């Protein structure tokens, strides 16, 4: 049953990060103004919490507890990631956009300087640590609910 909950939480994570997000919100999460940044992160994390709650409800699990845990943990993880990215790459911007990454993978990158591996490795490390933290927190939540 824990694996079902984890799978549903993983689906909610993909929905919140890949489908129901926007470039503008991603930039706001890296805003120089702390209040704007926190508001954007809470808005983004609320989408994750909404999907997590709905999918946990389908499973008949502790949906409210799960949704609140997703909200809190996702907000914390994203806040840390965004603060690190702001220090390394500057505020109010995304270092690598999804479209740039897809173009780089397909060999059609227009910005060879930015998309060289020497410039990308810090972003890859941050991204892997961020997604690892999200997966770990989702598994922990699945164990709890």
Measure the CA–CA gap between 68 and 136, rounded to whole angstroms: 16
Per residue in 110-119, pLDDT tens? 777 777 888 8
pLDDT average, residue stretch 45-69:
95
Contact between 122 and 88 under an 8 Å Cβ cutoff? The reply is yes
Q: How many domains does the chain have?
A: 1
Look at residue 97 in the predicted model and tell me its pLDDT: 85
Q: Which of 28-32, 92-96, 129-133 has the lowest mean pLDDT?
A: 92-96
Residue 88 sits in which domain range? 2-144
Q: What is the pLDDT of residue 119?
A: 80
Q: What is the pLDDT of residue 145?
A: 93
What pTM was estimated for this model as a whole?
0.91
CA distance 75 to 78: 5
Q: CA-to-CA distance for 38 and 42, rounded, in angstroms?
A: 6
More confident residue, 107 or 20: 20
The CB-side HSE value for 50 (13 A sphere, CA atoms) comes to: 10
């Amino acid at each position: 049953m824990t694996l079902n909950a984890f799978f549903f939480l993983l689906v909610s994570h993909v929905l919140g990060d890949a489908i129901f997000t926007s470039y503008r919100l991603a930039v706001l999460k890296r805003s120089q103004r702390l209040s704007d940044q926190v508001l954007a992160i809470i808005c983004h994390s609320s989408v994750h919490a909404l999907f997590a709650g709905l999918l946990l409800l389908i499973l008949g699990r502790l949906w409210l507890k799960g949704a609140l845990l997703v909200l809190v943990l996702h907000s914390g993880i994203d806040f840390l990631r965004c603060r690190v990215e702001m220090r390394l790459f500057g505020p109010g911007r995304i270092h690598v956009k999804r479209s740039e990454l897809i173009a780089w993978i397909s060999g059609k990158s227009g910005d060879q300087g930015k998309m060289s591996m020497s410039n990308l490795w810090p972003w890859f490390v941050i991204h892997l640590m961020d997604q690892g933290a999200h997966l770990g927190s989702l598994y922990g939540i699945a164990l709890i609910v």
